[in-house]
Amino acid sequence: MTKQHSIDIYNVRAGRGRTRALAAVIIPLACASCFFATKSDFDRLQADIVGTRATSNASDSVQRAYLVEVTRSVRSLSDSINALSRRVNTMKTATESDLAAMKEDISQLQDLSGQSEQKLRDMRAAVEEKTAVVDPSALPDSAGAGSAPAGGPGPAQLLQAGRDQLLKGGNVSARAAFSELITKYPRSDLVPEAMFFTAQAFTAERNPEAADQQYAALISRFPNSPRVPTAMYKRALQMQSAKKTADAKRLFQDIIKRFPRSDEAALADERLQSIK
C-alpha cells in the first residue's frame, strides 16, 4: 500500500467521524426545536380552547338571561290574562244579575199595571152600574154620551162581564157581551179591548180565521191602541203556523219597526232568527 493511499483512507475516516459528530450535535438540536414548536402550538391551542369556552359560557349566560326574561314576560302576560278573565267573569255575573233584577222589576210593574187596569175597569163598571139607575131626563144631554142607556149595562160592565165569561170558558157568552159593547158604544175607548178579547174567544174556540179577522180589524181601526203590537204578533204566529212564512216574516219585521221597545218586538226578533 502506498503512502498516498494510506493518507486518503485516513481522510475518509476522519470525515466520517466529523460527520457523525456533527450529526450527533444537530439531531438533538433539531428534535429540541421540534419539541419547543409543538409545546407553543399546544399552548396556543389551549388558550383558544379556553377563549372558546369563555365565549360559549358568555353566550350561554346571555341565552339563559334571555330565557329567564322571556319566561318572566310569559308569566306576567299569563297573570294579566287570568286577571282579565276573572274581571270579565265578574262583570258577566254582575250583568246577568242586573238583567235578572231588571226583568223581575219589569214583571212586577206589568203585574201592577195589569192590576191597576183591572181596578180601573172594575171602578168604571161600578160607576156605570150606579149611574144606570139615574133618570137620564134629569141629566144634561151631554152627560149621557158614552154611558149606559137606562136599564142597560155600560161598556165597562159589558167588557167585565165578557172577560169573566171568557175566564170561565164561556166563549160564546163572552163574544156576545163584547159584541154588545161594540154595537151599543162604538165610540167608547173600550171597543179595541172588546175586539181583542173577541179574537181571544175565537182562538179558544179553535177558529183561527175568525180570530185573525178580529185582530186585523183592530189593527186597521185603532192603530194607536196598546193592543196593536200583541194583535200583530198573534197574526204573525197564525201566518207562520199556516206555512205563510213570507207574510209572517214581513209582519214580524213590521212589529220591530213600529214598536221597537215593545215585548212583542223582542219576541218577533227571536221568531225571525228561527225562520232564518
Record the pTM: 0.51
Q: Which of 54, 164, 74 is nearest to 118 (CA)?
A: 164
How does DSSP classify residue 153?
A: -
Q: What is the pLDDT along the chain (276 residues), one digit of tens a residue?
A: 555 555 555 454 555 555 555 455 445 544 444 444 566 766 777 777 777 776 666 666 666 776 777 677 767 777 777 777 777 676 666 566 555 555 555 554 445 444 445 555 555 555 555 544 444 444 444 334 444 454 578 999 999 999 999 999 999 999 999 999 999 999 999 999 999 999 999 999 999 999 999 999 999 999 999 999 999 999 999 999 999 999 999 999 999 999 999 999 999 999 999 886
* Element at 2 (helix H, strand E): none
Cα–Cα nearest to 255, from 270, 276, 244: 270
pLDDT tens per residue across span 135-169:
444 444 433 444 445 457 899 999 999 999 999 99
> Which one, of 226, 236, 125, 223, lies nearest residue 181 by Cα?
125
Query: Which cell numbers in the block locate residue 99?
Result: 238583567
Cell representation of residue 172: 160564546
The half-sphere exposure of 70 on its side-chain side, counting CA atoms within 13 A, is 6
Torsion angle of C-alpha atoms 113, 115, 120, 121, degrees rounded to 10? 120
The 10 Å CB-count burial string (b at 16+, else e) for 172-209 is ebbbbbbebbbeebeebebbbbbbbbbbbbbbeeeebe
Rg over alpha carbons for the chain, rounded to the nearest Å, is 55
Alpha helices, DSSP H only, in 132-227? 155-168, 171-184, 191-204, 208-221
Place of cell 219597526: 257
